[in-house]
Amino acid sequence: MSETNKQVDKDSSPSFSSGGSAVIMMVDDEPIMMELVETYLQEHGYDNFVAVEHSPSAMQKMQECSPDLLLLDLNMPEVSGFEILQSVRETDEFKHLPIIVLTSSTDAESKLSALELGATDFLAKPVDPSELILRLRNILTVKAYQDRLENYDDLTGLPNRKLFLDRLGWVLEKEIAERGGLAVLTAALDRFKQVNDSLGPKVGDQVLKQVAERLVATLRSIQGERGLDDQQAWTNISRLSGDEFAVVLPGVLHASESSQIARRILESFESPCKVAGQEIYLTASIGIAHAPEDGEDSDVLLKAATAATAYAKNDGGNQSRFYAKEINEEARKKLRLEGDLRRAREDNQLALHYQPKINALTGRIVGAEALLRWEHPELGFLPPDQFIPLAEDTGLIIPIGDWILKQACTEAALWREQGLGDIKVSVNVSAKQFRHALLASAILESLASSGLPPDLLVVEITESLVMNDIDAKLLILHELRNLGISLSMDDFGTGYSSLSYLQQLPIDELKIDRSFLVDIPGNTSGLSIVKAVIALAKSLELSTVAEGVERYEQVDTLVELGCNVIQGWYFAKAMPSEQFMEFARSIQNPAQNRAAG
């Protein structure tokens, strides 16, 4: 652990057991008894003593001084210790406060009543000094430990979300009144989940500790430059959860100041984290909110900064963004859309459309790609790019993906029953689905329930999905291939496949990405790539499919180069299953179709 993190841990641990900052409050109607107790405490370093002789004012005094421990007499006029004890335990702020009851009563029933009301311990009057200090020290030590668990992040030593919001609340009130406002920054690591998944949680934890150290070091440097107490910089930083951190910046009123601080934080990530001999490069997304413009309440302000962070991350990451009302509205829309998507499958709003794959030499349909469509009751048909990323983020892609598999297999089996021949159906599998342990089971179940032969199902995966963590992906690919289905690599040529790895993959087909086909045959660079992909596929004994084909010149060029299977608007757009069957009949049996007409 670095010196920075040692300092965080040391400073963030309350030292109540040896006196120091512990606030001890005593409520007793005997002034002499309170003076004696105060003397005993001062001799052992407990200097923060609050004496309350008038019991009716006890609760108000507690609100003012927030004690760490309460010494409470039971038998008092006006308001008894029992009543105070009950009131304390009914207050959220003090329901866990340690309370030592002081009483001269030897009545077991009174002690039992006090315990039932929530007393922590008892001391008999007259108080024995040694016993008082011993019990007080033990209780405060336990309280310090409990406070740390409740208020500090165990991994980094930083304040947690609860303590951060508490501090932000009173800092907000103070700063707005005295200096006009403040800024809050929230930072989330980009692609940290990949680090955790690929290198394991132990490495992930070490990375988070180093991130905390960098944040503390950066803020200390900034505090020092501004002439502020740099040793307490860590108290303004919090680990909110997972890979999310927050920083409160008192007195930072202008966007130019907060953006410069955000830039300094981003720059701190330019050098890699070094864990177990590995260099791990990370970036972060930062959201900035200002008080009072974006909110005067701690929850509202943190929510605003967090929304800006999400916006920065969705926009590519490694940058900062200021909160704007439009961001909040966008977040609300996304939340509503998520709720609608959860209901969409149950309400039959989701459907599959099929785009034919045509053998350009024979003119016959050899396959079809299943494409998801969502007819929203208010927004109409939504394009996949508006809801597939949302399904990925929320995990809904798993049940939706299972439904797609079952539906595609069921409808492809129906085509076969209707005499349309053996038309292969292709289904896209997302990264989250691919990593899901039950993908193979979902495929087997879909094939079994539909009766579709396995060799008529094609699972399409993207090049980038496969090439990340290749060894683990190879195991999954072989498991799927052993089911008897075919595997297709989608968008081939847009990623970074190594040829040595490509020949190890148990795939059957390469799909040439539409981006290389747009201007062929005129675009010589695109044409060269298409030639190379087709030649590569032939050398590896793989079939090829060209997708996104819209013009005859493209078809003619592709057939000439040896790619005969074409998918695109030139032949047909994606269509519902019934319309697809009609189209297939017109293609597969043109003479019969004319006679019927």
Residue of 444, 192, 201, 187 lying closest to 305 (CA atoms): 187
Rounded distance between C-alpha atoms, residue 116 and residue 110, angstroms = 10
Domain spanning 161-326: CATH superfamily: Reverse transcriptase/Diguanylate cyclase domain (3.30.70.270)
Q: Please give the CATH number for the structural domain made up of 14-150.
A: 3.40.50.2300
* Burial of 361 (C-beta count, 10 Å sphere; 0-12/13-18/19+): exposed
Q: What is the DSSP string of 38-76?
A: HHHHHHTT--EEEEE-SGGGHHHHHHHH--SEEEEES--
pLDDT along the chain (597 residues), means of 10: 36 46 89 90 89 92 90 89 91 86 73 84 85 87 78 90 90 88 94 85 93 93 77 80 94 89 93 89 94 92 93 89 80 83 89 96 94 93 88 89 96 95 95 86 96 97 76 89 94 64 87 88 87 92 94 94 95 96 82 40
Q: What is the pLDDT of residue 493?
A: 65
Strand boundaries in 179-236, DSSP class E: 182-189
**Domain boundaries along the sequence of the chain:** 14-150, 161-326, 344-596
Q: What is the pLDDT of residue 497?
A: 54
Residue 272 gets which letter from DSSP? P
Residues in the chain: 597
Task: Give alpha helix (H) positions in 325-430.
Answer: 325-344, 388-394, 397-417
Q: Quick check: 429 and 507 in contact, CB under 8 A?
A: no
Q: What is the pLDDT of residue 511?
A: 93
Rounded distance between C-alpha atoms, residue 353 and residue 576, angstroms = 4
Rounded distance between C-alpha atoms, residue 86 and residue 277, angstroms = 57
Residue 143 CB neighbours (<10 A):
20
Q: How far is residue 279 from each of residues 156, 271, 273, 469, measured CA to CA in Å?
A: 20, 9, 6, 17
Q: What is the pLDDT of residue 583?
A: 95
pTM of the model: 0.59
Q: What is the pLDDT of residue 240?
A: 94
Widest Cα–Cα separation across the chain: 115
Q: Which DSSP helix (H) or strand (E) runs through 281?
A: none
Q: What is the pLDDT of residue 346?
A: 82
CATH 3.20.20.450 matches 344-596: yes
Q: What is the pLDDT of residue 148?
A: 76
Q: Quick check: 311 and 330 in contact, CB under 8 A?
A: yes
Rounded distance between C-alpha atoms, residue 278 and residue 130, angstroms = 55
Q: Quick check: 472 and 503 in contact, CB under 8 A?
A: no
Rounded distance between C-alpha atoms, residue 27 and residue 577, angstroms = 80
